[in-house]
Amino acid sequence: MDRSSGERRLASDSDSLLSADATPLVSASRKLEDVSFGAVVDADDESRVLWSTPDGLEIVGRGVAARLTADGIERFDRLRARANRMFDGLEHDGPRVARPRAFGGLSFHDGHEPTPPWTGFRAGEFVVPQILVVRSDADTWLTAVASDPETAANRLERWTDRLRKLPSMRPSGNGPGVESTRRTTSRTDWTAQVETALERIERGELTKVVLAQALSVDLEGPVDVPETLERLRRRYPNCYRFLVGREGGGTFFGAPPERLVSKRGDRVETEALAGSVPRGETPEADRAYADEMRDSEKFQREHGLVADAIREQLEPLASDLTTDERTLRRLANIQHLQTPIEATLEGDRHVLEIVEALHPTPAVGGVPPAAAWETIRDTETFDRGWYAAPIGWFDAAGDGEFAVGLRSGIATDETVTLFAGSGIVADSDPDEEWEEVQLKFRPILDELDDR
């Protein structure tokens, strides 16, 4: 094991680190009355996570019971191997929904270096929180994780008492207000980048590439990220929500519409989500936009590239693969073409294997992948970090769920850096693609400036 970059680390309440040969993880769980998830995750001085799905599962975590990190081109293999060792011998006394899970993500590029604003975010990093609060449709559970039963039991008691003192509802607030914004990509530079991509497409080097922009937002005060996510939940209830906060670093958060993969046992669910038009101000205008997307050769081709690539990436791992009918996915400010895809896996697989096979999908990278990555590196003027990369969790069985880190930003002090991109194909127009990117900035930008 490479202890310099990815050794297993177990933390006590004081975050002292134990060796990789420490006792296997132990967890203790208890059913709770309802609790304010925002209040639980409201801390910026330690590791914290939040994960919420469109179907109602919500999880928050605090502290670090175990940590996995890995860098470089073999990061997926290293993470899987270390995850197996970390969860080997895990003892859990609660229901399945309350089981310990490792939360985190990976960078878009495997050569990522954690420079500002991505300080503290490795190319691959997952933590098992010391404390998890899990809310499903049926119940709410508290789970404490430690390296021995006594510590887990004591932690469970302390947090039970602590949660009793928290309000069940957290007061709703407003955004901090936007003081100014700065673009990493000017409109002139954007046009040049799109034209470079179009030239490569014309030469046959590319079929599609997704180019992105970053927008640095200076705020009038500190941002309350959990509260921002709560307001996003009310406006975009059918999206994922996530928060990953690092000790001494920033907080990466977002409300992505796109699921990368969900795995339970040998069943896998994923989707192609590509092709975007605005929502209309009237029902008639809304239908007109949707009809335009359905009838557009450009949109249909762009979506087809994504769906075909996902099927090709899954086929070597699957014994059965099915594609559902192409539909329309409507969000508050935008609508997409969507194709659900399901598979039955052949053999025992870890969800990270599926993530590795799918990342990056053509919805965030391009076709062919190697040429798209090269174009992104050559043209983009900022570090994507964890933007457009896999964000999610896995458990001891290798099951898990990941979203694509879109509609996202990273908060540091009184600045939030937002990210958004657009798919470039043969007949893309730089001005139209520019407007699409600005539209994708709006969900979080509007909440930051909502006073």
C-beta separation of 115 from 383 below 8 A: yes
Q: Would you tell me how many other CB atoms lie within 10 Å of the CB of residue 28?
A: 22
Dist. CA 66–CA 147, nearest whole Å? 9
- Structure tokens that stand for 272 in this block: 């192609």
Integer angstrom CA distances of residue 269 from 3, 262, 345:
35, 5, 11
Q: How far is residue 350's CA from residue 447's CA, in Å, rounded to a whole number?
A: 36
Which residue is catalytic, options 125, 230, 258, 401?
Answer: 258
Q: Which helix (H) or strand (E) holds 332?
A: none
Q: How far apart are CA 451 and CA 446, in angstroms?
A: 10
Q: Which two three-digit tokens encode residue 30?
A: 């208890």
Q: What is the DSSP letter of 123?
A: S
**Strand duo 208-219 + 366-367: pairing:** antiparallel
SS3 397: coil
Amino acid (1-letter code) at residue 266: D
Cα of first residue to Cα of last residue in the chain, in angstroms, is: 50
258 catalytic per annotation? yes
For 36, the token pair is 């304010």
356 in catalytic set: no
Phi and psi angles of residue 60, each rounded to the nearest 5 degrees, phi first: -125, 150
**Residues acting as catalytic residues:** 208, 258
